[in-house]
Chain A
Amino acid sequence: MVKITFIQPDGASQTVEAEPGLTVMEAAKLNDIAGIEAECGGACACATCHVYVEPAWVEKTGKPADIEEDMLDFAFDVRTESRLSCQIKVTPELDGLTVRVPAKQF
């Protein structure tokens, strides 16, 4: 199992265990993480699972693909460390990954 920590805008944090192969969005939904809506169910067709990857992890999670970058146009307060969590696959290398949940999904 891979540990992933979600930090809420108010600083509250929650660490969950995720099976490799899942996406970070799925790990969030399975553990009822607030603020990850995933309206489209993981099709990279909305932007409501937007997260900020902690800078230390940006290299390991990699850059968004073109389709994801396009979809990020529909998110709010997009930053260089912005990702759609449905597009980050959980791998053993990501054990300890920390992401921040934005103040607003839309």
Chain B
Amino acid sequence: MALDDAAEVVETAATEIDAVVIGAGPVGLFAVFELGLVDIKTVVIDILDKPGGQCAELYPEKPIYDIPALPTVTGQELTDRLMEQIKPFGAEFVFGERVDELARAEDGRFHLKTDAGRALIAKVVVIAAGGGSFTPKRPPLDGIEVYEGSSVFYAVRRMEDMRGKDMLIVGGGDSALDWTLNLAPIAKSLTLLHRRDEFRGAPHSVEKMRSLVAEGKVRLLIGQMTKLHGENGSLEAVTVKTAGGEEHVTVNAMLPFFGLTMKLGPVAHWGLNLNENLILVDTEKFETSEKGIFAVGDINWYPGKLKLILSGFHEVALMAQAAHKIVHPDKKLMFQYTTSSSSLQKKLGVK
């Protein structure tokens, strides 16, 4: 729903910053730390509405056992601890937006633009996008692509667009329930389709949905979609398999909510050398084929690469050394330890 704010940022001037980190997973967060130690200020952008990436989205409760010195830590705890650790560096966070464009300007800096129209200018870019951006799952129904954007929507940008439609909302989580509650008053008809009569969403939303069903304002159908029918990109009906047989539901707007999957997304079009959907980097600086653009964590590849959080932590430390040369070309970088360096301790706010 962050997209609703898009209009507000379209016209504002570009934010100028030392570094943009794309991805707020554990490796992106630790990049803020390592960059901060070498005086590089960062903006972190993530498509999710919170930090943590896969750790927070896919397995917040699952213990991780291979983070050095933390015998067991959950994805959420790790995220919380990293957020605490990087606090002294005052990074700016942009959540709910995806970086769509990345291009080098004449002065050597990078111009970035998000899907909400936000513009940034950075001296270095650190891609820490993990498995790529989280994208709504597309139901594997034949020909669904032709309806996308005209009759099939994975997000509602403007509720008004749904006015007077015969709507089908599919799913059993909060997105499906929330949109059922929001759109029932303006749709011509609204059917909520789910494979079972049990919902994962918030109990009070389930309750509200059930009362709308009781009032006859929403139809609850238990079953699964098998076929789409329509012409020229307009959906007309959906075949649904139910316990009682097949049913033909008249539909001209459908919202399928089947969770998220990860796609490389716009990164694929930034002209970087790739190796099977992963960004090729060197192992000295973790720099891509473009000087000043680095890739760290699960999204990069080099011989011997292991997709481990701890590998990503190592990568950002080396990346930061190389980024320093670009951001502060006239400053000499002295290797220091946080244990003994009073200047590092000052940056960390412990001295």
List A residues at the B interface (Cβ < 8 Å): 39-40, 43, 45-47, 69-70, 72-74, 76-78, 104, 106
Contacts and interface: CB of A to CB of B under 8 A. Distances in A.
B172 A46 contact: no
B328 interface: no
A39 B261 CA distance: 9
A15 B28 CA distance: 42
B195 A73 contact: yes
B261 to A, nearest CB: 7
Interface string B192-205: 00111010100000
Q: Find the residue from A43, A46, A47, A73 having the highest chain B CB count within 10 A.
A: A73
Contact of A77 (B59, B171, B224): B224
B200 A73 contact: yes
B325 interface: no
B195 A78 contact: yes
Interface of B: 58-59, 62, 137-140, 171-173, 194-196, 198, 200, 224, 226, 258-259, 261-262
A104 B258 CA distance: 14
Contacts of A45: 58-59
B58 A106 contact: no
A69 B58 CA distance: 16
A70 B198 CA distance: 9
Given A73-B195, A76-B140, A77-B224, A106 B59 contact: no
Given A72-B195, A74-B137, A106-B140, 5 more contacts: A40-B58, A43-B58, A46-B259, A106-B258, A106-B261
A1 to B, nearest CB: 27
Q: List the 4 closest pairs (A to B, CB-CB), nearest first.
A: A45-B58, A104-B140, A74-B259, A106-B140
